[in-house]
Amino acid sequence: MAAILDAKGLNKSFGAVTAAKDINVAVEQDSVVGLIGSNGAGKTTFINMVTGYLKPTSGAIHFDGRDITSLSPRQITQLGICRSFQIPQLFNTMTVHENLLVGVGIVAAAGKRWSSDNHTYADPSKAVDAMLDEFNLGAYRDRTAGLLPEGTRKLLDIAMAMVVRPRILLLDEPTSGVSADEKFVLMDMVMAAVKQHKVTVLFVEHDMDVVERYTHRVLAFYEGRIIADGEPTDVLNDVEVRRYVIGGHIAPAGAASHA
């Protein structure tokens, strides 16, 4: 199967600091890939290069066969690569409904109609109602985004990224700041949505339970390099990963099932 995302020979330096070194990653359609590593290991740098927020010092990134290395974040988003952020990027003085309406409006402005469950909506408000149902946000419809619980803010931020129906979704620490009771509920909902719409997912995460439960593949970063790449059980039990990423303080991987 051809890769939907292909990064070859990516390097990124900030003066004397190397943030990414010889990154080579090919990601298949519909896969769920976890990115792990300590802070500063290069995970977010990689995501920022894929989404156009950073330009690599050298190397190339191809999306569905097209070179996107020099494109802007807006251009890359329009092609179908979207992201959510560790700190939710919301219109905090607007309601949940209004936030999603902005996203649907952007789709409409691009000459497209928003669709869900094989139904296309001409009315943006009805499209938002469908999105509220999909992410179980109906109870918060008229709540101001800035006053939402952190887990709900995260979910809304991800829903905003999904509004344009991306082909690739990149998530930066989706469960950061979310309570232990909420994290699996949030991830179950997000994974159900991306599976339904056949979206390829890459997500940065520090919670190894989440990584093992939801990914098909894991990339482990250390000092700007990928030191392991493979199935979750193999990567989480890798000697270098346990030494430099996990710290050797978790039970052997393999107990949790993959979503």
87: pLDDT confidence band, cut at 50, 70 and 90? Answer: confident
Q: Please check the confidence at residue 21 and state whether its pLDDT lies above 60.
A: yes
**Residue 193: its pLDDT value, please?**
87
pLDDT digits (tens, 9 = 90+) for 154-212: 899 998 888 878 899 999 899 988 888 889 999 998 999 889 889 999 999 999 999 99
Distance CA(222)–CA(216), nearest Å, equals 20
**Residue 32: its pLDDT value, please?**
97
Domain residue limits, the chain: 1-80+166-259, 87-165
Length of the chain: 259
What DSSP designation does 171 have?
E
**Residue 109: its pLDDT value, please?**
58
Q: What is the pTM of this model?
A: 0.85
Q: Please check the confidence at residue 119 and state whether its pLDDT lies above 60.
A: no
Residue with tokens 């740098």: 45
**Residue 81: its pLDDT value, please?**
94
**Residue 94: its pLDDT value, please?**
95
Q: Please check the confidence at residue 255 and state whether its pLDDT lies above 60.
A: no
E strand segments, 16-126: 17-28, 32-36, 58-63, 66-67, 81-84, 114-116, 119-121
Distance CA(72)–CA(57), nearest Å, equals 15
Q: Please check the confidence at residue 121 and state whether its pLDDT lies above 60.
A: no
115: pLDDT confidence band, cut at 50, 70 and 90? Answer: low
Find the mean pLDDT for residues 204-230: 95
Residue 251's contacts (CB-CB under 8 Å, 6 or more residues apart) are none
Residue 12's contacts (CB-CB under 8 Å, 6 or more residues apart) are 18, 19, 20, 45, 49, 54, 56, 57, 224
**Residue 163: its pLDDT value, please?**
81
Return the CATH fold of 1-80+166-259: Rossmann fold (3.40.50)
Distance CA(20)–CA(239), nearest Å, equals 22
What DSSP designation does 115 have?
E
Distance CA(129)–CA(85), nearest Å, equals 23
Q: Please check the confidence at residue 256 and state whether its pLDDT lies above 60.
A: no
Residue 183's contacts (CB-CB under 8 Å, 6 or more residues apart) are 151, 175, 207, 210
The percentage of the chain sitting over the pLDDT mark of 90, rounded to a whole number, equals 58
Whole-Å CA distances, 21 to 7, 10, 220, 225: 12, 6, 13, 5
